Structure 1
């Protein structure tokens, strides 16, 4: 089983890193190609492309200009670099060495710039969401650039696994880069859904759902889970599996 999650817009590059071990991103050359395309854009063009403020455009303009493939300059392991709601739930700073090793083998972070990252892959500060319509040699958006590469990567990643399950804890923006048509037929994609009890009904609340994805990834890593049935025992922060709401491809957890 492999678990996929999304990256985060917010980054943390100053906090102490618990482990110095690192790895190299699989698609570093592809990231370099995208950076070269981004280097051609002005601050205003970056702002329009990403729908961000001028201040953020300026920050990313200089990030692109200074970006290079030197992994020993201004880099940090991905699992310690991202700092959004998912990563607050993941709480990777609390992992011990064996848990980090398990995460390295089983957790994958989808990325608009790097394609896919293992937790210990070194990255530089960046902003490039998967949904961005950046012109490239495969088409007019990042989905076209990455879909074959990433789907094939997942096929190979799961090739030796006994239970060929891809647990999708990524947002739709990122998970839809994987093309089911290219994916091996024996791979099962399972998508957990997290709901809160509000106004006499169960609803998805985005901010809680994001943290819950991280909590589930944490639960899988700390318990070294590799079977679907064991995931259904997830119970952090009051969540419980609801068989009555679940389907073959969607497993639902509720609280409240």
Structure 2
């Protein structure tokens, strides 16, 4: 499974995880940081399109790249997809499985595993970020050969070389090239067609979590994904037969009766408003439940509106 690293980090990341590892390309990451230290704040400001304060902050951090206590990447990454994945809460077996089968494209580290320890104040840069280095104008120029080789090594250990691409399209440009991968490698992209664009990120996180917990090893197994609701709830997603192909897994929202009544009922019984309810039931180690609760409440609201609509 291939994803893109988040550009925003949690201010207070989860400290306790079942697994920790060292980035495989850490020496090259240190060398890159050494190169980028030569950039003046004005250069960083111009190339990253940030204000003076941020440019100075990034320049300061590059000058002290290893000065912070490293934190597992999955604990730091702060976006809807990684929150829905909930990797910091994985047990030992699931975390080690994730480290074997998930790779994350990163501007500063090239290719990461979920539990690789990285700097908590790292420069928010993707492979598509324009930062002048010894290999070219973009960070992808610096990492291209190393990332391809690392992907190649990981794929050769699999019985069937398959890449399930959940990464940003711009990060994959010039990186995912079948000519540089083991013979017979199959690349399949994943897309969720949702009304709200942010919901698609939630869905990708849930999809990845489900696939890892289910130990899916083939594309065909992934087609069984229907969402993370309980057994008695209706499916949240279904495969789009019109849009899917051998190289693209496209899921769409299930238009039938959605799940969500359980959380809505629980909130009503609690007497809390939505903000307090979510904080009560989805904080700390249960933070990953925020996606599930919010989505369920939205579905229930839409469902009730339809029931009371006048035509």
Asked whether the two chains share a fold, i.e. TM above 0.5, the reply is: yes
Deviates further, 178-187 or 168-177: 178-187
Give the structure 2 partner of residue 74 of structure 1: 69
Give the structure 2 partner of residue 111 of structure 1: 106
Q: 1:131 aligns with which of 128, 138, 144?
A: 128
SS of 2:178's equivalent?
coil
What is the count of residue pairs matched by the alignment?
244
Question: Structure 2: which 5+ residue stretches go unaligned?
Answer: 229-235, 256-311
**TM-score normalised according to structure 1 size:** 0.88
**Which 4+ residue blocks in structure 1 deviate beyond 4 angstroms?**
none
Does 2:82 align with 1:84? no
SS of 2:8's equivalent?
coil
SS of 2:99's equivalent?
helix
Q: What RMSD in Å do the two structures reach over aligned CA positions?
A: 1.8
SS of 1:29's equivalent?
helix
Q: 1:48 aligns with which of 46, 49, 61?
A: 46
Write the deviation string for residues 95-147 of structure 1: whole angstroms up to 9, x where unpaired.
Answer: 22211111011111110110001111110021222112222222222222212
Question: Structure 1: which 5+ residue stretches go unaligned?
Answer: 199-204
Bigger relative contact order, structure 1 or 2 (CA pairs below 8 A, ≥6 apart): 1
User: Radius of gyration: which is bigger?
Assistant: 2
Structure with the largest fraction of helix: 2
Give the structure 1 partner of residue 144 of structure 2: 147
Q: 1:249 aligns with which of 238, 247, 250?
A: 247
1:1-256 equivalences in 2 (<5 Å): 3-12=1-10, 14-19=12-17, 21-68=19-66, 73-124=68-119, 125-126=121-122, 127-176=124-173, 177-196=175-194, 198=195, 205-236=196-227, 238-255=236-253, 256=255
Distance 1:138 1:42 in 2: 19
**TM-score normalised according to structure 2 size:** 0.73
Write the deviation string for residues 147-180 of structure 1: whole angstroms up to 9, x where unpaired.
Answer: 2211121111011211211000111122222233
